[in-house]
């Protein structure tokens, strides 16, 4: 057996089993999966676990709640995509006047995040904390419950999941994905996004 074959065999033996999950230092979860590439050949690699998609598939949340969580997540990524976001819930920028510069667009997204957190009870509430860590920072529910929880205390995983479900329900109404009599925010947000 050649050295090249030995190295390939050793790499294959070190591969984790399909479905193996790891928690990264930032709290997000990755899962080892097997998929097909463009040539229909199997490829094994790690993929980030989408907590909101899992909850939707399991029936824990509705489609409207999932869409609201995705919108929050996108606003969060636009606001803090430069790496400015931290696990701390303080220091959200107050914002600047709307404009065409990238910094001002990021500030607008940060205002949208702050407004969404205020709509669910503020950043210090259990619902706001759940949105920040799980939908914003992409931390798994289990990891957030064990490492952070609400108000700096560890929480039961089911209790934390309840915080997130409640937050997504309130957020879906705030964004106008679920009818609650009025969907002014959604119409206003769509017109603001449509303007250049």
Note the pLDDT tens digit of each residue in 40-92.
888 887 777 788 988 998 899 999 999 999 999 989 988 887 554 444 444 44
pLDDT at residue number 18: 83
For the chain, which residues make up each domain, given as ranges?
Answer: 3-48, 51-194
pLDDT at residue number 117: 95
φ, ψ of residue 43 to 5 degrees: the values are -130, 130
Which residues does the chain have with pLDDT short of 50? 84-100, 181-196
pLDDT at residue number 4: 80
User: What distance, in Å, lies between the first and last C-alpha atoms of the chain?
Assistant: 63
pLDDT at residue number 12: 65
CA 22 – CA 28 distance, rounded (Å): 9
pTM over 0.85: no
Token readout for 68 is 């609201």
pLDDT at residue number 180: 52
Judging by DSSP bridges, how do beta strands 21-23 and 42-48 pair with one another? unpaired
pLDDT at residue number 96: 40
pLDDT at residue number 137: 85
């Amino acid at each position: 057996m050649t050295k090249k074959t030995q190295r390939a065999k050793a790499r294959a033996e070190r591969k984790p089993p399909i479905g193996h999950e790891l928690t990264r230092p930032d709290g997000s979860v990755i899962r080892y999966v097997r998929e097909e590439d463009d040539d229909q050949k199997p490829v094994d690699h790690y993929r980030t676990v989408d907590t909101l998609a899992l909850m939707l598939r399991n029936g824990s949340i509705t489609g409207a709640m999932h869409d609201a969580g995705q919108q929050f997540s996108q606003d969060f990524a636009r606001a803090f995509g430069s790496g400015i976001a931290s696990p701390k819930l303080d220091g959200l920028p107050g914002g600047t006047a709307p404009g065409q510069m990238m910094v001002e667009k990021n500030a607008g997204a940060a205002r949208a995040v702050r407004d969404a957190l205020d709509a669910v009870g503020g950043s210090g509430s259990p619902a706001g904390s759940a949105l920040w860590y799980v939908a914003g920072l992409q931390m798994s529910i289990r990891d957030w419950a064990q490492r952070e929880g609400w108000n700096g205390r560890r929480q039961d995983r089911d209790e934390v999941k309840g915080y997130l479900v409640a937050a997504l329900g309130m957020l879906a109404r705030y964004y106008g994905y679920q009818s609650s009599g009025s969907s002014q925010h959604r119409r206003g947000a769509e017109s603001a996004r449509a303007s250049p």
